[in-house]
Structure 1
Amino acid sequence: MFTKILIANRGEIAVRVMRTARRMGIATVAVYSDADAHAMHVALADEAAHIGPAPAAESYLDGERIIAAAKATGAEAIHPGYGFLSENPDFAEAVEKAGLVFIGPSPRSIRALGLKDSAKQIMEKAGVPVVPGYHGDAQALVVLATKAREIGYPVLIKARAGGGGRGMRRVDHPDEFADALAAARREARTAFGDDRVIVEKLIEKPRHIEVQVFGDRHGNVVHLFERDCSAQRRHQKVIEEAPAPGMTAAMRMAMTQAAVKAAQAIGYHGAGTVEFIVDAAKGLKPDRFWFMEMNTRLQVEHPVTEMVTGIDLVEWQIRVAAGEALPLSQNEIGLSGHAVEARIYAEDPACDFLPATGTLHHLRFPQPIPGVTLRVETGVRQGDIISAHYDPMIAKLVVHARDRKAALSALASVLEETEIAGVAVNTAFLARLVQNSDFVAGKLNTRLIPRHQQALTSFPEPETRTMATAALAASGAKFAPDAPDPFDAISAYAHFHPITHRRAIRHGDRTRYYAITGLGDGRFAVRSEEENAETLVLPAEYGERIVPWPGHLTIFDGPDNHTFQLHDPLEQAGLAASGSESLRAPMPGLVKLVRVAPGDKVKKGQPLLVLEAMKMEHTVCAPHDGVIAETVAEGARVNDGTVLVRFAESNTPNAGRPARRNIEPSRL
């Protein structure tokens, strides 16, 4: 067994691997970029090695630096986690050539299965059902467009390399094919360094069900049952669960046998996931599923499998890499209860899931629920920064209960109790999703979220009392008669009248002013200065969950949270005086494509440019009709708040604000 391993990753997966390694008595080495010098995974490791600047291409994707760090620290093996170099066969090969052990499958397996086209060819020969489509070598537009017509629309263009939904586009009509292909290629080239694609028939009511497989170097291969990952937005998983709802014995037998056959066909060892697309139009049928791809690594959603089987997959990875046989045979692997995982991201669901950056000024995860196992997988702490350099995942909440109903109920509760302030988050969206009637009923397919997106992302405005409470909390007033600060003793009287304080708060684009008066008995009268506003009497010790943070405060109200900006009249005056109208970058990124020029007349909703940020492309659209006065240069790197487009005339009251609601992510 190894005595020391290096983890070639960051964030929650690095922390996850360290937890198992420590239990096994194995020392760990963390690697970190400039941006991660004080990160959680660095603090938890036994040793840490700096590997370069913040951009992943110059640090976490630099295999030579990582291997050098492993050799310098005396590590015997490298665990790649997921993402980054985990499915890079050249890196796995270089690790072995350096005399180290790669904790994963062989470079040959990664190379064969890492590309969707070659993987499908292997599966066809092995007798595993494959989605109808084209996965040949020819990549000319005319060839791919012709194949799409032969397959029949709608079709799906997919990058042949990588995963996570990057480089994937749905095409419903031949006229849309060329633009969709160009966008998919750009995204694939950026994410994987490979812009080749395949074209598949789009299944109209698909479910995404995958099977966890494991092999060792002694020829043994087992499955650890299935996971359902059908709750997706733009081909990215949102909630995963095990076992799959509605799974029949016949369907499970057919899928798991196909998955094992797929692994055996390539002589696979280590952890792997065989992903299937299932036609769920008439329920789960053994003859209505097809191979999509095989991920030659640990999956983000692996904890749900661990919770229903009681098996530590990371321990199995380490033992298999060390040459041991699988700890259990197939008939010794059981299935117990139901587990569900929700991915918490720094993103704004109300703004089409635009990724967010910023500081986690407040971070509090819930306490366990009696009778339910709660697992919080995270790689961040309060005070950490969510940057534009890496994936914006904050945490995964995983619950395990006796059945699916209990698990969903528990997950909804822990999501409602999770408190995060400082960046936009998707917890309210997730809480609504796990309580959605179709989701609860198990009526799953990958269209569920788009079908209910308006309801899932329409969040209520704060109620009158919530606004008044925010104003009182922002004022800092409290009932303390003996306090040295006069406003702390606001319940007292200033000679002949009660003390009144005026406070302004902003929610969204609206600023409201409140008059706050102490009533002398630990209560306050709070009244909005708007016409016909009612006066509310509030106690000094309000019961709401309120978190102040620099320039803001957040009130947590069940599944919803409301963030208020403490109004700065000088800043507002500066915006009004500028008189210029512009769309600003909501985060750092690279301007990939500019579609307009100065003098162009544009219509509301017209695409203006494409911004690449957080590994994705985002299309910036015009918020209204107008004339372009100035644009950022194509190829420019921009910071948060940089002006992207300036209009010749100011037509809206939102001049100069970041383009939050005018960004439509082409794929997140």
Structure 2
Amino acid sequence: MIRRLLVANRGEIARRVFATCRRLGIETVAVHSDADARLPFVAEADHAVRLPGNAPADTYLRADLVIEAARRSGADAIHPGYGFLSENADFARAVEAAGITWVGPTPESIEAMGSKVEAKRLMREAGVPTLEAPEEPTEADLPLLVKASAGGGGRGMRVVRRLEELATEVAAAQAEAASAFGDGTVFVEPYIERGRHVEVQVVGNGRGRVLVLGERDCSVQRRHQKVVEEAPAPKLGGEVADALHDAARRAAEAISYRGAGTVEFLLDPDTQRFFFLEMNTRLQVEHPVTELVWDTDLVELQLHVAEAPQSTGTLGFSTSGGEPQRHAMEVRLYAEDGAYVPQSGRLVTFEVDHDVEFGLGGERGIRVDSGLASGDDVSTFYDAMLAKVVSWAPNREQAIRQLVRALRTARIHGVTTNRDQLVEILTDPVFVAGEMTTTWLESRPISAESPSDSRASVVAAALMLAADDAARRTVQQGVPAAWRNVVSQPQRTTFEGHEPVEWWGTRDGFVVDGVTVLEVSPTHARLEVDGVTTETRGHISSERPGAPREVWVDGPLLSARLREVPRFTDPADAVASGSLLAPMPGTVVAVKVEPGGEVAAGDPVLVLEAMKMQHTVTAPHDGTVIEINVEPGAQVASGEVLAVVEESVGG
């Protein structure tokens, strides 16, 4: 029996495994980088071992350091979580060679499924339909998909629509995969434009017995990274579901699979044909939806199988599966802006109403799995996911409604998130109808409009700033904010992207046309508009004294960051025309040009890496590179001037 388990991972998945271990009475060990030292998963572990450094290649991808940490802490088992070393056969083999229980599939299974060519050969022999990659692609084979052999999450993945771009995209995918997973191997296969991503959860005992726990739909993706997952898959006929389950069972049996794994398929919604994509020989990020639908703790099953690797009988549970009990849906809440650019910084407030964390519940509810809490820092070194917010209910419609409410009422201050986009997705008619494909989200227009009645929240934010100014005064504290003996004009507060708010400070409080101001403080405002009272809560932050302030507001329909437009521009904040600013904090991976070089609009100038993703900074116009301010390996802050491109005369 496992006595003390080390999780070779971080954040949310480490906390998830620890939760099951606590319930089962198993001691826990965390390993952590310097950047993660103060995060909740470290505090919750019974023991913790530091991995010096921050970059994944120096910490969580160092198999030798992780095994040494297990030895030093007395751990007798290692759970890899997902990502990092979870699908590294050499790591699994080294763990077993050290006499430590490996909570995962055999190294042979990992290698069989990790080699995409070998995996497809095995699947063909097992009678599972596969997508065949052309050996020498031609125009007729386009579009193509470049994929990383190791890992997932959309990293190391590129769609190629022009043959001459293939070599460049392969090189970019290799670099990204090497950074994220420590393995730059990539492969190419046909790209199906309008497919559904459907995957099947399996658990095997390594001796030929396989439990199938239904399917999940993960078609809502952007940049090949899953955004929304649900179980069971909507609008999937019983015969197709049975065929998928059977194919997944055969796939797992073909390699005598041990532990929890996922067999992923691409389904053509028009023909209902499906093809094997890959098998993830680990726990999936989206495993909670299966747990909530089937009332099953998948981590507990992993531990059970690991403790009885020589069992020739049953798994210790039925392999018949049964029927799903309800519908579950998960969204990935990310620190990123509307253009999907990762964000970093202090997560000042992080509150999502929920019923359970990392566990099971009753007939309906909200589950939150997160590696962060209010006050924690979102670093640039790792994935930008803040939390998985999961809803479960007797049917899909109720699950959607619960999830929308949980997101709308959440308080998230300090970093920009994709929360509003998630609400838009969940309420989109295409999603509500269950007609999503893997390309739907990329082709769907991104709404730039705020809710029509968000004005109350913008007014509230302006008044919170005024109340904050009044509270900070050291003189005339009893005088109303912005008081004037002779009023000539209203005060005006402007936020980027919104119409100015005009207001007066009187003896009786604030006055705004069309709004009755009932109560205001630096952290909340209660306003009445057209006879309807609304409550808006907020948080005010500033990078430095005198800099434009930001108000993080949570109103009835608007939860956003509002950035104040200063009345006067500080000359120190001005930048030269043609300056290329860092869109996020990160590391300079490559500089593609030299000072004096000529570039065309859209040409790559630099490549930044942040949160294991690479981002190309391009020339804004035709011109000459007159300045390069960074070099490969440099750490840059968001908004930092990286280079300057002088526009061509007449350009």
1:92 corresponds in structure 2 to 92
**Match of residue 467, structure 1, among 439, 445, 458:** 458
Counterparts in 2 of 1:222 and 1:503: CA distance versus 1, 3 Å: same
Matched, 1:411 2:403: yes
Which residue number corresponds to residue 246 of structure 1? 235
Q: CA deviation at 1:633?
A: 5.1
Among residues 589, 594, 615, which one is paired with 2:612 in the alignment? 615
Q: Which residue of 2 aligns with 1:56?
A: 56
Letter in 2 for 1:588: P
In structure 2, relative to structure 1, the CA distance for the partners of 1:489 and 1:210 (3 Å cut) is same
> Could you tell me which residue of structure 1 aligns to residue 285 of structure 2?
300
2:317 corresponds to which residue? Answer: 328
Q: 1:538 aligns with which of 517, 527, 544?
A: 517
**1:366 pairs with 2:353:** yes
CA distance in 2, matches of 1:492, 1:203: 61
Change (3 A) 1:491 1:147: closer
Corresponding residue of 1:19: 19
Provide, for residues 248-275 of structure 1, a one-character-per-residue CA deviation record: whole Å limited to 9, x for no partner: 2211111111101111111110000000
> How is 1:430-445 mapped onto 2 (pairs within 5 angstroms)?
430-445=422-437
Aligned to 2:178: 189
- Output the CA distance in 2 between the equivalents of 1:579 and 1:568: 19
TM-superposed deviation, 1:568: 5.9
Give the C-alpha shift of residue 122 in structure 1. Answer: 1.5
**Is the contact made by 2:482 and 2:505 (CA closer than 8 Å) also made in structure 1?**
no
- Report which stretch shifted further, 241-250 or 212-221: 212-221
Amino acid in the other structure paired with 1:355: P
What residue number does 1:108 align with? 108
Whichever residue aligns with residue 402 of structure 2, its letter is A
- Give the conservation status (yes or no) of the 8 Å contact 1:477–1:490: no
- TM-score, length basis structure 1: 0.86
Contact 2:63 2:85 in 1 (8 A): yes
Distance in 1 (CA, whole Å) between partners of 2:190 and 2:253 is 27
Q: Aligned ranges for residues 633-648 of structure 1 at < 5 Å?
A: 635-641=632-638, 642-648=640-646
Per the alignment, do residues 116 and 148 of structure 1 end up closer, same or farther by CA in structure 2, a change over 3 Å counting?
Answer: farther
Q: Kindly indicate whether residue 504 of structure 2 is the aligned counterpart of residue 516 of structure 1.
A: yes
TM-score, length-normalised on structure 2? Answer: 0.88
Alignment identity in percent?
42
Q: Name 1:530's counterpart in structure 2.
A: none
Shift of 1:217: 3.7
Q: Is 1:548 paired with 2:539?
A: yes
Task: Tell me the distance in 2 between the aligned counterparts of 1:299 and 1:179.
Answer: 30
* Residue 569 of structure 2 corresponds to residue 590 of structure 1: no
Distance between the aligned counterparts of 1:155 and 1:516, measured in 2?
61
Q: Hey, what does 1:429 align to over in structure 2?
A: 421
Structure 1's 406 and 464: CA in aligned 2 closer, same or farther, altered over 3 A? Answer: closer
Q: How many residues were matched structurally? A: 619
Deviation per CA, 1:102-145: give whole Å up to 9, x if none.
Answer: 100011111111222221121122221111224xxxxxxxxx5x
**Residues 292 and 409 of structure 1: is their aligned pair in 2 closer, same or farther, counting only changes over 3 Å?**
same
Change (3 A) 1:321 1:209: same
Rounded to whole Å, the distance in 2 between the matches of 1:167 and 1:53 is 24
**Alignment partner for residue 277 of structure 1, among 266, 279, 284?**
266
Name the structure 1 match of 2:545: none
Give the conservation status (yes or no) of the 8 Å contact 1:499–1:518: no
1:559/1:28 CA distance change after superposition, 3 Å: farther
Q: Deviations over 1:5-63 (max 9, x none)?
A: 11111111111111110000111111111111111001111111112111111111111
Structure 1 distance, partners of 2:34, 2:490, is 45
Match of 2:387 among 389, 395, 411: 395
2:334 is equivalent to residue 345 of structure 1: yes
C-alpha displacement of 1:489? 4.9
Q: CA RMSD in A?
A: 2.9
- Cα deviation code 1:511-542 (max 9, x no counterpart): 9585531242xx4124xxxxxxx685533343
Letter of the 1:550 counterpart: S
Provide, for residues 596-651 of structure 1, a one-character-per-residue CA deviation record: whole Å limited to 9, x for no partner: 33334544444322222221121112334543211245523232143211134799
Unaligned runs of 5+ in 1: 135-143, 527-533, 652-668
- Alignment gaps of 5+ in structure 2: 357-361, 527-534, 543-549
CA distance in structure 2 between the partners assigned to 1:125 and 1:159 by the alignment: 23
Cα displacement (A) at 1:377? 0.5
2:555 aligns with: 557
Is 1:221 the counterpart of 2:206 in the alignment?
no
What's the CA shift string for 1:470-506, capped at 9, x where partnerless? 22101126999xx997445528988x65899957554
Paired position in structure 2 for 1:147:
137
